A and B are shown apart, each in its own frame.
Chain A
Amino acid sequence: MLFLDHIWLIPLLPAFGATLMFLFGRKLQKATVSAVCVGAIVVAFLFACGAVWHYTNWASTPENFHRPYQTVLYTWLGTDTGHLTYVLHDGKSTAAFQADVGFLLDPLSSIWLLFVTGVGMLIHIYSIGYMAHEGGYYRFFGYLNLFMFSMLTLILANNYVLLFVGWEGVGLCSYLLIGFYFHRKSASDAANKAFIVNRIGDAGFLLGMFFIAWYFGSLRFTDVTRLAHSGQFAIGDPIITATTLLLFVGACGKSAQLPLYIWLPDAMEGPTPVSALIHAATMVTAGIYMVARSNALFVLAPTSMKTVAIVGALTAIFAASIGLVQNDIKRVLAYSTVSQLGYMFLALGVGAFSAGVFHVFTHAFFKALLFLGAGSVIHAMSGEQDMRNMGDLHRRIPVTHWTMFIATLAIAGIPPFAGFFSKDEILWQTWTSEGGAYRLLWIVGYFTALMTAFYMFRLMYLSFHGRPRMSHEVEHHIHESPTSMTGPLVVLAVCSLFAGFLGWPHSLGGSDRFAKFLEPVFAREAQVLTEQGRAAQVAAGEKETEHTTSTEYFLMFLSVAAGVVGWGMAWKAYRHADRGYVEPIAAAPPVYNTLLNKYYVDEGYDYVFTGRRKIGDTRLGVLGLGEASAWFDSNIVDGLVNGAGWITRLTATISSWWDKWVIDGVGVNGPAILARMLSYPARLFEWGLVQWYALVMTAGLAGFVFYYVYH
């Protein structure tokens, strides 16, 4: 079990690359940088394949059947000395706080491991070509490797704390990479926004973790899952509901759901490979991974699952509507990502965990392909990103065109491409889940699918077809990208074509190997949900549903129809787009402007939270409340305090007046004045003549003498 025992090497390989870049990167040649960093990921990918292969062998033996493989390297936080023992929720039992550096490999993390390293490898190879003429080459690859290290730590962690370490690490790398062109203010602002909004979600995540530690006594996934399965917690337990909602807040921040999605479109300021890797295929799926990993907890909290589903569906349609009118090619893809992530959360929320994971898997391929293709288009267009200035590229950059076309077919849900199977599975699960309680969400998902097809084909037609709308020098320089870029495009296109076959549904005669693979992770949940009457088909190999296969065929037909109708509408509107093309939605200007300005959400947040807006001198929003409170405190409360001081001073003044004029004036100076007044007559005797004094003395003496003589 070579690969499995040394599974800790997988995150360490890119970490090594990142360290090398950090220490020596500046002095290395570009070829060396490429060799080290890309090589690290290639080796990591091969290693990951080996590890998953070994795991499947290991887990199929009778004694290890369907168990996750766990290896603990060392205890990072906490000790055995009992000093970190704390009391649990029941007030009696105690647990020792402990978080180890440990790795867990089970079907769920295997899937993530494979596509993260695989797509990561392809994007690294692509970046060699894309960033070839950019400055900061070593810095870029160093950050990318650091990101891979964090993401792999996140995926392979065996406890919430180490997952959080990876979580924060990918957030950091997202910040570093979005702000890669930090000389541009818009880029550094976007990086700040991403990190700050992420942090808001992290607060929720941390609180959720604390609840878990307090409620379950342990932070390891295996322990938490075991306890949750043990039946000692009731369905709808309020603490678990609170915990799962908090965890979902964290997932909203990381995976860009309402209301914390605002960072993702701005994150397109980073280089295109960054958008592909982080904001399409890997980092944003971390939230979904975390929710899927905590599925045992979520199943115990139906309210949370409803919330997840509703938020996911709303995000999906919200983002899709904004994507209909965006003009920047990367923004359309960003909103598309937010929308597809909404689909994944919708799936998790209705209990279709493996369908959600399957969509993550297929989405990674076609979204990465779309982003890399967009990068190739931008490269060909010498940096132009606005679709209004593109057009008629399909003959000049054929490889990019055809691979992006495959990806667009995939995302629109046209069979037999990958997106069809996963999206259709989600929609089917939504329709049937809980006896049809989520039908409204199905309608939301359906219209989102329609819009997805429309705006994706709009992107295709505006960029590649119609009349050329670019300037002549740009037109002159259009060229196909180098092989380092087109190679990954082709590989991803093949994956987008064939990856869907892994989840060929039962109704169409397949065996749905994907869901079967995930069975050990989600099987108990399936059972619980079925017992509760809430499940439809949570895992494959799954038994009866209440609905006939004909309904499933019909819904399948409907979702294909949505894709085709969307395609058709885009074809009609944009096929022959020339310089003065008009957006069909622009016929209703208020709608158009609202969508173009992203529903003014950013402005709304600006008014309410950031406190940057003022009316006159008064600040608005939450910070305005703060300022108002400060004004209140410094003027009214302190005014009272000052007033008390003023009264004291007044009393003191009166006192001092009394003392000065009455006490001193009358009491002390009075007798003195009296004495002086009496002195006036007394003074009359003082003539200053010496002989007069002598006479008086003599007279007195004579008087004494006479007195003594005659008495």
Chain B
Amino acid sequence: MDAMLHISTLHYLVLGAALFLLGVIDVLTRRNVVVVLMSIELILNAVNLNLVAFSRYWGELHGQVFAIFVITDAAAEAAVGLGILIAFFRNKETVNVDEVNLLKW
């Protein structure tokens, strides 16, 4: 069939960019802190996707190795973020990001 689409690197990049964009928008606009953390994970995974795509393109493993690092880093960051979340919840009884405004003048 000629109408069959060939999935090239470009498709992966676009997907990665889209996920990245979604993640950024969610970080900026969501009210729930847990969802913000999840969207940060989304950003990181989008970056992973990008890295792996280029690794396939160039035929080298550098991208994949870096992706492993990013996954590890994302895990640690999630743990810390959840710790902060728990501490925040203990103090304020809420998970609304808008409530984190003690530095407001």
Residues of A within 8 A of B (CB): 683-684, 686-691, 694-695, 698
Apart from the given pairs A684-B105, A686-B103, A694-B28, 15 other A-B contacts in the complex at a CB distance below 8 Å: A686-B104, A686-B105, A687-B101, A687-B104, A688-B100, A688-B102, A688-B104, A689-B100, A689-B104, A690-B100, A691-B28, A691-B30, A691-B36, A698-B24, A698-B28
Return the chain A residue nearest B24 by Cβ: A698
Using a CB-CB cutoff of 8 Å, which residues 56-105 of chain B contact chain A? 97-98, 100-105
In the assembled complex, which residues on chain A have CB atoms less than 8 Å from the CB atom of B103? 686, 688
Nearest CB in chain A to that of B29: its residue? A691
Taking the complex as formed, is B27 at the interface, i.e. its CB lies under 8 A from any CB of chain A? Answer: yes
Pairs A–B under 8 Å by Cβ, sample size 14: A683-B105, A684-B105, A686-B105, A687-B101, A688-B101, A688-B103, A688-B105, A689-B97, A689-B98, A690-B100, A691-B27, A691-B29, A691-B30, A694-B28
| A691 and B36 alpha carbons, distance in the complex (Å) | 9
A699 to chain B, nearest CB (A): 10
Residues of B within 8 A of A688 (CB): 100-105
A41 to chain B, nearest CB (A): 114
Chain B residue at minimum C-beta to C-beta distance from A702? B24
What 1/0 mask marks residues of chain B from 17 to 57 whose CB sits below 8 Å from any chain A CB?
00000001001111000001000000000000000000000
With a CB–CB cut-off of 8 A, which chain B residues contact A689?
Answer: 97-98, 100-101, 104
A698 and B29 alpha carbons, distance in the complex (Å):
12
Residue ID in chain B nearest A701 by CB atoms = B24
Residue ID in chain A nearest B100 by CB atoms: A690
Q: How far is the CA of A55 from the CA of B100 in the complex (A)?
A: 130
Do B102 and A690 have beta carbons less than 8 Å apart?
no
A698–B43 CA distance with the chains assembled, in angstroms: 12
User: Which 3 pairs between the two chains have the least Cβ-Cβ distance?
Assistant: A688-B104, A688-B101, A683-B105
- Smallest CB–CB gap between A600 and chain B, Å? 97
B101 cross-chain contacts in A, Cβ below 8 A: 687-689
Closest to A695 in B: B28
The interface centre, meaning the residue of B29, B36, B103 with most chain A CB atoms within 10 A of its CB, is B103
Residues of chain B within 8 A (CB-CB) of A687 are 101, 104
User: Taking CB as reference atom, which chain A residue is nearest B25?
Assistant: A698
CA of A690 to CA of B32, assembled, Å: 12
CA distance A691 to B35 in the complex (A): 12
Contacts of B30 in A (CB 8 A): 691
Pick from A683, A690, A695: contact of B97, CB below 8 A.
A690
Distance (Å) between the CB of B105 and the closest chain A CB?
A: 4
A541 to B46, CA, bound (A): 156
| A694 to B40 Cα, complex, angstroms | 11
Give the contacting residue for A694; candidates B27, B98, B102, B104; CB below 8 A.
B27
Nearest CB on A from B35, distance (A): 11
Q: Which of B28, B29, B36, B102 has the most chain A CB within a 10 Å cutoff? A: B28
Interchain CA distance A683-B30 in the complex, whole Å: 25
Q: In the bound complex, how far is the Cα of B98 from the Cα of A324, in angstroms?
A: 124
Chain B residue contacts of A683, Cβ below 8 A: 105
> Which residues of the other chain, B, contact A686 by a CB distance below 8 angstroms?
103-105
User: Which A residue's beta carbon lies closest to that of B98?
Assistant: A689
Give min CB distance, A121 to chain B, whole Å: 118
User: Given contacts A698-B24, A698-B28, is CB(A691)–CB(B97) below 8 Å?
Assistant: yes
**Complex CA distance for A206 and B54, rounded to whole angstroms:** 125
**A691 partner residues in chain B, CB cutoff 8 A:** 27-30, 36, 97
Q: Which residues of A contact B97 (CB under 8 A)?
A: 689-691
Q: Complex formed: what's the CA distance from A416 to B97 in Å?
A: 144
Min CB–CB distance B43 → chain A (angstroms): 10
In the complex, residue of chain A having the shortest beta-carbon distance to the beta carbon of B36: A691
Inter-chain contacts of A684 with B (CB < 8 A): 105
* Cα distance A698–B24 in the bound complex, in angstroms: 8
How far apart are the CA atoms of A608 and B100 in the complex, in Å?
Answer: 96
A695 contacts which chain B residues (CB < 8 A)? 28
B34 to chain A, nearest CB (A): 14
C-alpha gap A695/B36 in the complex (Å): 13
CB distance from B27 to the nearest CB of A (A): 6
Alpha-carbon separation in the docked complex, A688 to B92 (Å): 15
Q: Which residue of B lies closest to A699 (CB)?
A: B28
Q: How far is the CB of A685 from chain B (nearest CB, A)?
A: 9
Kindly state the separation between the CA atoms of A688 and B29 in the bound complex, as whole angstroms.
15
Shortest distance between the CB of B88 and any CB in chain A (Å): 10
Residues on B with beta carbons closer than 8 Å to the beta carbon of A690? 97, 100
Which residue, A683, A686, A691, has most C-beta atoms of chain B within 10 A? A691
A45 to chain B, nearest CB (A): 119
| CB neighbours of A698 from chain B (8 A) | 24, 28
CA–CA, A688 and B103, complex, Å: 5
Q: How far does the alpha carbon of A698 sit from the alpha carbon of B28 in the complex, in Å?
A: 9
- CB of A680 to closest CB in B, whole Å: 9
Which A residues lie within 8 Å of B100 (CB)?
688-690
CB neighbours of B102 from chain A (8 A): 688
A329 to B101, CA, bound (A): 116
In the bound assembly, the distance between CA atoms of A689 and B104 in angstroms comes to 8
Nearest CB to that of A682 among chain B residues? B105
Closest to B104 in A: A688
Q: Which residues of A contact B28 (CB under 8 A)?
A: 691, 694-695, 698
Bound form: Cα–Cα A690–B29 in Å? 10
Nearest CB of chain B from residue A342's CB, rounded to whole Å: 110
Distance, CA A686 to CA B100, complexed state (A) = 12
Give the docked Cα–Cα distance between A305 and B100 (Å).
118
Query: How far is the CB of B91 from the nearest CB of chain A, in Å?
Result: 15
Looking at the assembled complex, report how far the CB atom of A577 sits from the nearest CB atom of chain B, in whole angstroms. Answer: 121
Q: How far is the CB of B21 from chain A (nearest CB, A)?
A: 10
A691 to chain B, nearest CB (A): 5
Return chain A residues, CB-CB under 8 Å to B27.
Answer: 691, 694
